[in-house]
Chains A and B, each alone.
Chain A
């Protein structure tokens, strides 16, 4: 885990917003919504894994 994670999330965010704009302009609102949702889920999975790691570390450190 490194700075890559933040860059990854930012890249996904920019990509999703561009896709959103393109799809909205071509009149596919529901697909734009789906891309937004998919991007959010992907990023959430990335972040949640790291949060779980952090909490495990804290648990091991402080002994609970």
Chain B
């Protein structure tokens, strides 16, 4: 676990230096180095995320909560990560308008995923009343 963090930190420093060197002549290459580093770091971390999700699923199973309620939460989390990644990449490239459009698209999609939970809540409330 610690070795991975040290690895990511080291790669980040090396990547930053390389990006500064390359950006002087080719700014687009510098941006791509940043993007490549982002992909690398997140891929290294992905295994740990899997373990955490497994833990959450196990706890939910033990607590007897309906699994259908947890799936959208995980989905929205993943969507948020993907959206943030794309938005940051676009902001690095200086395209703030594209970044904000991706953000809006992500928000709408997350809302669409979250709607079934809201309907379940409303259904629950109506059954109580």
Contacts and interface: CB of A to CB of B under 8 A. Distances in A.
A46 B36 CA distance: 9
Given A10-B21, A13-B22, A59-B78, A3 B39 contact: no
Interface string B1-39: 000000000010011001101100110111011011101
Contact of A6 (B36, B49, B50): B36
A40 B22 CA distance: 13
Interface stretch (B58-66, B69-77, B95-103, B118-126): B69-77
A20 B25 contact: yes
Interface in A6-28: 6-7, 9-10, 12-14, 16-17, 20-21
A10 to B, nearest CB: 4
A64 B33 CA distance: 28
Residue among B29, B35, B74 having the largest count of chain A Cβ atoms under 10 Å: B29
A54 interface: yes
B95 to A, nearest CB: 15
Contact of B40 (A3, A10, A12, A61): A3
Nearest to B81: A58
Interface of A: 1-3, 5-7, 9-10, 12-14, 16-17, 20-21, 36, 39-40, 43-44, 46-47, 50-51, 53-55, 57-59, 61-64
